Every structure is written in structure tokens, then in C-alpha cells.
């Protein structure tokens, strides 16, 4: 008998923004696997008899391998990510690894969706997305040239952009370069919002423009939202008009 693997999106950080299904599968799991801070994010759901496998940054493939091995051995496993596991999370890695197993050894797999940072931040701001694209500025897993090519292609469109992983201690210049590429195509007055730790107690929101975007104001847990050309401030909200 094979077990089951639930690849779970926990949302942006607060229990109020977790789905009922995410809570159900984490509570029911015999083994919970995840990057340490993400395990902490669901600590209120954990039981003493569960086995917890806490991982480190950069060890995503190892976590996927552990989770699959435990599920294939007949256990109920929850592999947790923040946000949505399919958006810069663990789902793609785990599903590829599962697909490589012989079919008769493959555990049942479920991807449990979660609220991602882009939609959480947008809800705080108003309704700024409409048609939009998400881009990770991390060049840890792929070369910056490929990331920059995506930004350049999107810059010429009318899409709002949600920039994930904009900056870290070891990646300090990429956001500034992304801003410069966008500025070649977009109005300097384009609204930009910096939403840090969305949904958490220390949530911080700053409004700026493309011309005034200061990378020094941005942290790893900041979602940088670059509005599309039909966005405008309506009272306290940033709203993208539809049908224009």
C-alpha cells in the first residue's frame, strides 16, 4: 500500500488566510516536510506524534525526495510551502519526482492551493492586477539573462507585474536593473507598491512610482507590484480599470 502526498500552499503567513483544505491535510499528516520557517507557519496545526522534517534554504530537491519516500512507504505526508505551492513553491519539483517513479510505486498526490503573495498584496491595495504576470527576480536556479529577457518582453505589454524574490543579502542589484528595463517602456509615473510581510503582524505597505522606486526599501519578503497603464488611485485604493 502506498501512502499519500499533499503539496500544500499555506498562504502568505497568517492563519486567517489559510484554506480549510490546507489545515485539514496538515493536521491529518503523519509526516510534515518543509523549509523551517514554513513549518513554523503552520505550527498551530502540528501534533506531538507527527514526524517533522525541517529543511534549509536551497535544499528543495532534498525535501521533495524525503516527502516522496515517506509517502511511497505508506505514510500520509504534507509537503508545505508558503503562498501557493505551484507559484515559485514546491509543487513542480515534487510532481516531477513523483512522475519519475514507477506507476505502481507512486503515492496519491494532491496539490492544495494557497493564497499567493500577488493576490494577497493586491487585496490590501484595492484591485490593481486585472491582466498581470508574475516574475521571480531570483537568479539562483536560472541565469539572470533569462530573467531579464522576461522582464523586457513584459515591459512592452500593458500587464501589471508582480515581482517575487526581489532582493536578498546576496542579490542586491537585480531589482534596480529590473526597474531600469521597465523604465525603457513605461511611464516614470507608473504606480508601484512595495508590500512586505503581507498579512502578518508587521505588514508594511509603501506607495511609490517606477521613477522613484528605491531598491533599498525592499526586502526578500517584499512583493513589488508594478501597475499597468490603466491603473489609477481611486480614494485610498489602487484600481485597474477594465475594458479600457
Looking at the structure, do residues 101 and 38 belong to the same domain, yes or no? yes
pLDDT of residue 242 exceeding 80, the answer is: no
Q: Which of 86, 112, 138 corresponds to the end of one domain?
A: 112
CATH number for position 16: 3.40.1010.10
Looking at the structure, do residues 132 and 107 belong to the same domain, yes or no? no
Chain position carrying cell 525541517: 54
Condensed to tens digits (0 to 9), the pLDDT of residues 156-198 reads 998 999 999 999 888 889 999 999 999 999 999 999 999 999 9
Q: Are 117 and 83 in contact (CB under 8 A)?
A: yes
Between the alpha carbon of residue 187 and those of residues 74, 100, 192, 211, the distances in Å are 56, 47, 11, 8
Q: Which of 84, 112, 140 corresponds to the end of one domain?
A: 112
Condensed to tens digits (0 to 9), the pLDDT of residues 12-38 reads 988 999 999 999 999 999 999 999 999
pLDDT of residue 111 exceeding 90, the answer is: yes
Q: What's the rounded Cα separation, in Å, for the pair 101 and 138?
A: 29
pLDDT of residue 1 exceeding 80, the answer is: no
CATH number for position 220: 3.30.950.10
Helix or strand (DSSP H, E) at 53: strand 51-55
Q: What's the rounded Cα separation, in Å, for the pair 145 and 139?
A: 9
Comparing C-alpha atoms, which of 71, 161, 142, 126 is closest to residue 237? 126
Instruction: Give the contacts of 23 (CB within 8 A, at least 6 positions apart).
Output: 45
Transcribe 7-31 into DSSP letters. Answer: EEE-BSS-GGGS-HHHHHHHHH-SE
Looking at the structure, do residues 78 and 190 belong to the same domain, yes or no? no
Looking at the structure, do residues 122 and 236 belong to the same domain, yes or no? yes
78: cell is 504534507
Q: Which of 60, 84, 112 corresponds to the end of one domain?
A: 112
Looking at the structure, do residues 68 and 163 belong to the same domain, yes or no? no
Looking at the structure, do residues 140 and 229 belong to the same domain, yes or no? yes
Looking at the structure, do residues 138 and 236 belong to the same domain, yes or no? yes
Looking at the structure, do residues 144 and 220 belong to the same domain, yes or no? yes
Looking at the structure, do residues 140 and 126 belong to the same domain, yes or no? yes
pLDDT at 92 (0 to 100): 95
pLDDT at 220 (0 to 100): 85
pLDDT at 243 (0 to 100): 59
Q: How many domains does the chain have?
A: 2
**Beta pairing class for 126-127 and 76-81:** unpaired
Looking at the structure, do residues 149 and 76 belong to the same domain, yes or no? no
| Section 228-235 average pLDDT | 92
Looking at the structure, do residues 17 and 53 belong to the same domain, yes or no? yes
Looking at the structure, do residues 151 and 85 belong to the same domain, yes or no? no
Q: What's the rounded Cα separation, in Å, for the pair 176 and 180?
A: 6
What pTM was computed for the model?
Answer: 0.90
Task: Domain of residue 104: give its range.
Answer: 4-112
147: cell is 530573467
Amino acid at each position: 500500500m502506498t501512502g499519500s502526498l499533499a503539496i500544500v500552499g499555506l498562504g502568505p503567513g497568517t492563519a486567517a488566510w489559510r484554506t480549510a483544505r490546507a489545515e485539514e491535510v496538515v493536521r491529518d499528516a503523519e509526516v510534515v516536510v518543509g523549509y523551517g520557517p514554513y513549518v513554523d507557519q503552520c505550527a498551530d496545526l502540528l501534533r506531538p506524534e507527527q514526524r517533522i522534517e525541517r529543511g534549509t534554504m536551497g535544499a528543495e530537491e532534498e525535501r521533495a525526495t524525503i516527502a516522496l519516500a515517506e509517502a511511497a512507504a505508506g505514510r500520509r505526508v504534507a509537503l508545505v510551502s508558503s503562498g501557493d505551492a505551484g507559484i515559485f513553491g514546491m509543487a513542480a519539483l515534487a510532481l516531477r519526482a513523483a512522475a519519475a517513479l514507477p506507476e505502481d510505486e507512486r503515492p496519491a498526490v494532491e496539490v492544495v492551493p494557497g493564497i499567493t503573495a500577488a493576490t494577497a498584496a493586491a487585496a490590501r491595495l484595492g484591485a490593481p492586477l486585472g491582466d498581470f504576470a508574475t516574475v521571480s527576480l531570483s537568479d539562483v536556479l536560472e541565469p539572470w539573462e533569462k530573467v531579464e529577457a522576461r522582464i523586457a518582453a513584459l515591459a512592452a505589454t500593458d500587464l501589471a507585474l508582480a515581482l517575487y524574490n526581489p532582493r536578498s543579502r546576496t542579490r542586491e542589484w537585480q531589482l534596480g536593473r529590473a526597474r531600469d528595463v521597465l523604465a525603457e517602456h513605461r511611464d516614470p509615473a507608473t504606480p508601484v507598491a512595495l508590500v512586505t510581510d503581507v498579512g502578518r503582524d508587521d505588514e508594511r505597505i509603501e506607495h511609490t512610482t517606477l521613477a522613484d522606486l528605491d531598491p533599498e526599501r525592499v526586502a526578500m519578503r517584499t512583493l513589488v507590484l508594478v501597475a499597468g497603464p490603466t491603473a489609477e488611485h481611486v480614494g485610498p485604493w489602487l484600481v485597474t480599470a477594465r475594458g479600457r
